[in-house]
Amino acid sequence: MKDSFSVFIFDSNVKLLMQKRAVNTYNSDGLWTNTCSGYPQENETIEEAVHRSLEEEFGFDCKLDKLSEFYYRMEPGDVLYEHEYHHVYIGFYYGVPEPNNEEIMSWKWMNVFEILDELRNNPDKYMYWFRYTYRNVLDKVSRKQKNRILGLFM
């Protein structure tokens, strides 16, 4: 079992920064997913890894709050098998991302309800991990964060 992480970044309009993975990535290439995910490098803490990944993939860093952590086991493909202890972080960024084209084919900001509709109507366009975790992430955000994320749409 190994440690892994996911980062969910929202903008000033409370839209989630989404990325479409580049074709040359090791898994789920060409699929949409959350802001960034990954694994810590040798001798790197999870906290160091989430900030490194955000900087490497989108060219910025910001304050991140740990939302949750949980164990999971998943077999998303014929070859890929995941058995991980997963850490989830949430943050807010108000600038313009500068995506790394080696990692990211495309990117966009999406509101909560657009994403839920997309996951219901076009699930195959989204990375298996994102389809699995997005609703769980919304359920776990604190009341303050949830009001900030959902409040603009109610």
Structural domains of the chain ordered from first start: 2-153 (3.90.79.10)
Reported in sequence order, the residue ranges of the chain that DSSP labels E, i.e. its strands, are: 2-10, 16-21, 32-33, 36-38, 64-74, 82-92, 104-110
Q: Are 153 and 146 in contact (CB under 8 A)?
A: no
Q: Does residue 124 carry a pLDDT above 80?
A: yes
pLDDT of residue 35: 97
pLDDT tens digits along 8-51? 999 988 899 999 988 765 556 789 999 999 999 999 999 999 99
pLDDT tens digits along 102-119? 989 999 999 988 999 999
Task: Report CA Rg, the chain.
Answer: 15
pTM tops 0.75: yes
Q: Does residue 81 carry a pLDDT above 90?
A: no
Instruction: Compute the mean pLDDT over every residue in the chain, rounded to the nearest whole number.
Output: 84
Q: How far apart are CA 150 and CA 15, in angstroms?
A: 10
Structure tokens at 51: 């900030």
pLDDT of residue 86: 86
Share of the chain above pLDDT 70, in %: 80
